[in-house]
Amino acid sequence: MQKNVRTQRPLKANRRPVKTAKPGKALGKTHTRAFKAAVLIQRWYRRYMARLEMRRRCTWRIFQSIEYAGEQDHLKLNHFFDYLVDHFMSSNTKEREFINRVFSESDIPKDPKVEKACNYELIQVPLHYAGPRLSFPLSPDHATALLDAFKQEKQLHAHYVLKLFHETLKHLSQLPNISIISTCYNEEITVCGDLHGQLNDLFLIFYKNGLPSPAKRYVFNGDFVDRGKQSIEILIILFAFLLIYPKEVHLNRGNHEDYMINLRYGFTKEVMRKYKEHGNKILKLLRHVFSSLPLATLIDRKVLVVHGGVSDTTDLEQLARIDRRKIFSLLTQKRKSEKILRLSEVGPGSVSEVSHQSDISKRVQQSVQEELESCRRQAGLTEPRGLEPSIVLKWKRVLDILWSDPHPQEGCRINEERGGGCYFGPDVTARVLQKHGLQLLIRSHECKLEGYEFCHNRKVITIFSASNYYAVGSNRGAYVKLGPDLIPHFVQYQASKMASQLTMTQRISRVEETAYQALREKLFAHRSDLTTAFKSFDKSNSGVITLSDWATAVESVLHLGLPWRMLRQQLVPRLIGGKLDYNHWLRHIAMEQKSTSQERMQSSLLETIYRNLPNLETIFSIIDTDHSGLISFEEFHQIWKLFSTHMHIDISDSSICDLARSIDFNKDGNIDFNEFLEAFRITKWNMD
């Protein structure tokens, strides 16, 4: 058989051949599309990161504004105490003694009295005690034992705590105001910033950088305590290493090494909670330890390390001559000096001539508020009336060293955000450095996103060592290392494992949620004032205002300096025709803040307690001089009169006595803090 063979038809002469794309041209089109896609992705990513950065900066601004507002509020309360000492001169002897005892600082006791207050020898360590045991002089093994014990959440016995602090006080008392150290004998010096009771950050620093030793020098730049939950453990570790390596470990005083600040920010409570029976002895001894801490450190006489900063009055020679051990608290030093000079100038019979009233009248109440407003404007730097200029200048120099912040603007002006210290500009930094032949200023005092920050033409470094300060993921911690060349090298870290496991978006979202919750609490605490402010813009009583008026009203009440219009999406979920129903918005804020245990409380009372709880706790702690958690009926009577003046609550003497008896639920003749709040509730109820 013949196979079928398919023959190919010949191409016609007029048939056009199929065109094929040139390989180079097709590849060019592909590259063009890929390039355009990459540009679009890059634009999207940049916009996304810009939004994240904007959210992060807004969150940071919220945290910082609320923190500084709290510090300013504490100083305003202290100014109120100053005003009472100056103006509330009752003819009643008991009232005068009460005010002087509570609000005036006593003289520094002699060393024997300090030793007697400590009295550690009478405190027996039980045989079943399983924590670390110390013997003096300390060795590196003792420090290692302390670190291991605290990692296992064990507690050092009060006997050893008091002995350690007593030995620390003796060592610190021999040091000058300004410690001078050199890199000549060592390769590096490590400077750490604020720790604020965050023990995990200290552990991580030692893990990454090594324990203090003759080959590893450290400068810890103040603010060891408050806010965190393990402040006492940090003090124990730092003081132990200080005694073991006195030439290698150096400590500067911060603004939180101040017993008046500790009353508000948690350290006093922590000590009393952990060392109940002996907590008061520890706190009394720490007043002297804190006042004995050096104020600054000089590295190679070229780098100045202070906690806060400098000012136009900073003079290291003058600073070196101040008797720092007399400054228990910068908040009471001015009051104490005023009292001494006033008593030397005023005759013994003048006190009763000043005032014959036992109660503060409404006229004085108004004067108090005017004084408080004046103090707020002047931010704590008003020179005390009647004081010698030299005394004022000494007080201000120490205040500026511990409380000041750098600012990009030239000059030196009052730090109104914190309420104490100053803002110093690059020109002030340059003058201080040039005057003393320095080349760098290292300070702490401010939380920074990355743990450190340069400013003033890289002549000022802020170093902050407490990571996750505001919330988990809010910031990194850092420390700085200086070698013989004095070139700073930074090490950053995150002490929280959770923060390192989160993506940037997750971390910012969590921190943002915490910040807005804190801001909503502030809004709720000022609900009545906000209502009044909103109504001032609502002339027609329509119940709605514009977003611009809302932002203006909120800022006029809270004074936080926040970009409220940018925060609107998080705080104001809905608008009606572009306007805000402020009554509905305030009810929404109130519902968010009410917990199940608070449902029975009056809304106005809850708001007032939210607003004044820190002041209430501070006042109660000041009256409770032995930190027992109890005050007597007589102390309650006196403090309620003073507090009612501050809070505009009118109440008679007989009503106060009846109130004290009614809130003493367990009938023990004393009043604890919960009963104190109950008095506030009853009084508020009767007023409403």
Residues with active-site annotation: 256
Backbone conformation region of residue 655, classed left if phi is above 0, alpha if psi is from -120 to 50, else beta: alpha
Residue 368: phi and psi, rounded to 5, are -60, -45
CA geometry: angle 235, 238, 242, nearest 5 deg:
130
Amino acid at 605: L
Q: With beta carbons less than 8 A apart as the criterion, state whether 300 and 486 touch.
A: yes
Identify the sign of the CA torsion 90, 94, 95, 99. positive
Q: What is the CA radius of gyration of the chain?
A: 31
User: For the chain, how far is it from start to end, CA to CA, in angstroms?
Assistant: 120
Whether 138 contacts 243, CB under 8 Å: yes
CA distance 615 to 608: 11
**394 and 411 in contact (C-beta within 8 Å)?**
no
Phi, psi of 622 (to 5 degrees): -65, -40
Which of 284, 334, 321 is CA-nearest to residue 108?
A: 284
Q: Which of 261, 372, 382, 263 is nearest to 648 (CA)?
A: 372
Q: Which residues pair with 422 in a beta bridge?
A: 414
Cβ–Cβ < 8 Å for 196, 227: yes
Cis omega (within 30 of 0) on the bond before 137? Answer: yes
Report the distance separating Cα 95 and Cα 80, nearest Å. Answer: 17
Reading the block at residue 516, the tokens are: 């807005």
φ/ψ (deg, to 5) at 293: -65, 140
* Nearest Cα to Cα of residue 279 among 166, 124, 162, 164: 162
